[in-house]
Amino acid sequence: MTTTMTTAANPGPVAPSTPAHSTLHPLGHDAVTLTGGFLADWQRTNREGTIPHAVAQLEASGALDNLRRITGEHEGEFVGFWFADSDVYKTLEAIGWEAGRSDVGDLMPFVESTIDLLARAQDDDGYLNSHFQVDRPERELLELRWSHELYCLGHLLQAGVAWSRSIGRLDLLQIGLRFAELVEQRFGEGGVDMVDGHPEIETALVEVFRETDDERWLRLARRFVDLRGRGLLGEDAMGPQYYQDHQPVREVRDATGHAVRQLYLAAGVADVVAETGDPELLEALERLWSSVHERKQYVTGGLGSRHRDEAFGDAYELPPDRAYAETCAAIANLHWNWRMLLLTGHGRHADEMERGLYNAIAVSTAVGGCAFTYANPLHLRSDAAGGGENAPTRRQPWFRCACCPPNLARLVASLHDYVATTTDDGLQLHLFADATIALPGGGTATVRTDYPWDGRVEIAFDEPFTGELQLRRPGWARDAAVTVDGRDGRADARDGYLVIDGSEHPLSRVALELPMEPEVIRPHPRIDAVRGCVAIARGPVLYAIEQADLPDGVLSDDVVVPEAPEVRLAGVDPVLGQRLLVAGARVRGGHRHELYRSSPSARSDAGYAPSSSAFGLIAVPYHRWGNRAQGGMRVWLPTR
């Protein structure tokens, strides 16, 4: 059979309505079912752990009481940050996506009561924001630099879109649309020229355009993109770069300012390109992509190195210990790369989604799904102080600024939507996971794999597939082999994919074999903070050493490894996953008391030579650090 390219009947997140501008097209929200393994386990943990936990925390944190203040059902001060409504909306979005794939009956009392509360809290003119309505109604929509009003509306609209797409429920979307109408009257063409200090509304408006077919929303999204970078937000201590308001989007060359804002904006611009085909905006996005992924990204997929302003640093400014790398930035980067993947069809975007997913995003959640990191350093010293949002020594159940946990919940509830795409006559497999995939033209593909722990991926078609099958060949995979119906298969390499043509010999069973030998990774020499260090990875999973695995008396601060260490498998831990053994580690000696000293020796490490005999160093997946006893952790291992 041949697939036929259509806009999916019941799409998941991101559903371009103008297929001509995209290279690849999403499958429907119910087309892919994760059936086992890492991603399915994560989705189950999210459903059973994270989402009910988030619902409870919205009550405990006061985020729901903030909304009840509007209706008079709660008296007291507003609590949390003034954008706390967005935590409620993101949780509703997560349950919305879940409703399309699992029974959410136990969560429906929260959903029904919250949608009812929002409907009653909304002003007659459509306005809805729990901080401004009660505390500063006279300033509504007048302080967009900091108010986050359109940011919150964006999340409300995305929640509405999720419910509309997954089960056709429209009431939440209608609440959002009433507020959007007010915003369009105020800030649409002929209205006030202004943008929100925190991008998010742009991507939401394009999704609403897709859902309603009403061009007004696309025009408003494009207007917000074109108005950005003209200094409309005014001067304050943060400077216009913080809000990406220093330079028009079309002229951008460098990722700057608050990382989450920069990446949400990029996702919104990509959505506008998907509907308009605007080549100038796409070129700007490509330049921004290079800035982020070739000069400003941690090896984990973490983004935004500076704690100050939660911002991107300069090129190569990537200290592992002072890495801010907010969880939301890694999630935003996945959202942006998915949109770039649909636009361009290039596997490097799926590579970046995978890097984030198995490292910077996965690390943020504890086993069990009910504790989280906000910042995601790559190095904690053995005496690391702190435990708060900025410098975690352990994961927290919630945060005063709780943007990250519900962002995780909505991403993971829709994780299966990012596995595969379709073209006129093709199927592309981007993320490898046990799954069944309902093909647009009929028939089913079944994927079997133990990825990321094993590199073999088997795809079986229940009806012979006559289209073009594209299997992502990850950038880290130096070689990859394909077999077709048990024989060596012919596959062409194209844009990061291995392409197998089923038009002459229809495909029944295809297997991809990716190399899973542990790899030693070296940093660009301009990343001064980790010069002379190596990192260990196996497939897409980056590794770290943790104090819990070190011999008695040895601190993670003092371990050194050979410049080209031998690394081998050390067995699977049921909680931590595949462990590795790094041979030849030693303990750095010479614990002198002087912090600095003059040295006549040309050797910078004189006096600190390794003093112990060599031992085998256990490394565990970085995304599982901190699930045991507290202690030091590091991804980059010094070689001297």
Q: In terms of Cα–Cα distance, which of 405, 408, 406 is closest to 88?
A: 406
Tokens 């879940």 sit on residue: 98
Q: How far is the CB of 401 from Zn ion (least distance, A)?
A: 7
Closer Cβ to Zn ion, 370 or 404, answer by number: 404
Q: What phi and psi values does residue 498 have, to the nearest 5 degrees?
A: -95, 125
Closer Cβ to Zn ion, 357 or 447, answer by number: 357
- d(CA 86, CA 401) in angstroms, rounded, equals 11
Closer Cβ to Zn ion, 343 or 402, answer by number: 402
Closer Cβ to Zn ion, 310 or 417, answer by number: 310
Contact 28, 47 (CB under 8 A): no
**Could you tell me the two tokens for 441?**
């033209």
**Could you tell me the two tokens for 165?**
């797409």
Closer Cβ to Zn ion, 69 or 155, answer by number: 155
Peptide bond into 452 cis (omega under 30): yes
**Could you tell me the two tokens for 445?**
């593909």
Q: In terms of Cα–Cα distance, which of 420, 435, 406, 330 is closest to 95?
A: 406
Report the relative pairing of strands 426-429 and 468-472 from DSSP bridges: parallel
The answer for residues whose C-beta is within 8 angstroms of residue 477's C-beta and 6 or more apart is 455, 514, 515
Closer Cβ to Zn ion, 165 or 261, answer by number: 261
Report the relative pairing of strands 541-546 and 519-521 from DSSP bridges: unpaired
The answer for residues whose C-beta is within 8 angstroms of residue 355's C-beta and 6 or more apart is 300, 301, 540
Tell me the per-residue interface mask from 210 to 249 with Zn ion, x by CB under 5 A, - otherwise. Answer: ----------------------------------------
Closer Cβ to Zn ion, 127 or 336, answer by number: 336
**Could you tell me the two tokens for 640?**
């001297």
Closer Cβ to Zn ion, 84 or 445, answer by number: 84
Q: How far is the CB of 328 from Zn ion (least distance, A)?
A: 3
Contact 404, 53 (CB under 8 A): no
Q: Which residues from 530-549 bind Zn ion, rule CB under 5 A?
A: none
Q: Which residues from 375-414 bind Zn ion, rule CB under 5 A?
A: 403-404
Give the distance from CA 381 to its chain's centroid: 26
- d(CA 423, CA 561) in angstroms, rounded, equals 47
Closer Cβ to Zn ion, 121 or 260, answer by number: 260
Q: How far is the CB of 436 from Zn ion (least distance, A)?
A: 33
Q: How far is the CB of 47 from Zn ion (least distance, A)?
A: 21
- d(CA 58, CA 66) in angstroms, rounded, equals 10
Burial class (CB in 10 A: 0-12, 13-18, 19+), 25: buried
Q: How far is the CB of 260 from Zn ion (least distance, A)?
A: 6
Q: How far is the CB of 329 from Zn ion (least distance, A)?
A: 8
Q: How far is the CB of 403 from Zn ion (least distance, A)?
A: 3
Q: How far is the CB of 364 from Zn ion (least distance, A)?
A: 9
- d(CA 572, CA 577) in angstroms, rounded, equals 5
Q: How far is the CB of 351 from Zn ion (least distance, A)?
A: 23
Q: How far is the CB of 30 from Zn ion (least distance, A)?
A: 29
Task: Look at the alpha carbons of 216, 221, 224, 226 in this order and tell me if their dihedral is positive or negative.
Answer: negative
Closer Cβ to Zn ion, 62 or 406, answer by number: 406
Distances (CA, A) of 232 to 196, 258, 259: 10, 17, 20
Largest CA distance in the chain: 78
Burial class (CB in 10 A: 0-12, 13-18, 19+), 527: buried
Number of residues forming the site for Zn ion (CB under 5 A): 3
- d(CA 616, CA 485) in angstroms, rounded, equals 42
Q: Which residues from 298-357 bind Zn ion, rule CB under 5 A?
A: 328
Q: What phi and psi values does residue 299 have, to the nearest 5 degrees?
A: -60, -20
361 binds Zn ion (CB under 5 A): no
Closer Cβ to Zn ion, 328 or 529, answer by number: 328
Q: How far is the CB of 402 from Zn ion (least distance, A)?
A: 8
Closer Cβ to Zn ion, 330 or 537, answer by number: 330
Which residue sits closest to Zn ion, CB atoms considered?
Answer: 328
Q: How far is the CB of 306 from Zn ion (least distance, A)?
A: 15
Closer Cβ to Zn ion, 217 or 374, answer by number: 374
Q: How far is the CB of 310 from Zn ion (least distance, A)?
A: 9
Give the CA angle between residues 95, 372, 539 to the nearest 5°.
95
Q: How far is the CB of 331 from Zn ion (least distance, A)?
A: 8
Q: What phi and psi values does residue 192 have, to the nearest 5 degrees?
A: -70, 135
Burial class (CB in 10 A: 0-12, 13-18, 19+), 519: middle
Closer Cβ to Zn ion, 115 or 328, answer by number: 328
- d(CA 335, CA 554) in angstroms, rounded, equals 41
Burial class (CB in 10 A: 0-12, 13-18, 19+), 525: exposed
Q: How far is the CB of 327 from Zn ion (least distance, A)?
A: 5
Closer Cβ to Zn ion, 404 or 560, answer by number: 404
- d(CA 131, CA 135) in angstroms, rounded, equals 6
Closer Cβ to Zn ion, 406 or 502, answer by number: 406
Measure CA of the first residue to CA of the last residue in the chain; give whole Å: 59
Q: How far is the CB of 585 from Zn ion (least distance, A)?
A: 35
Residues that bind Zn ion (CB under 5 A): 328, 403-404
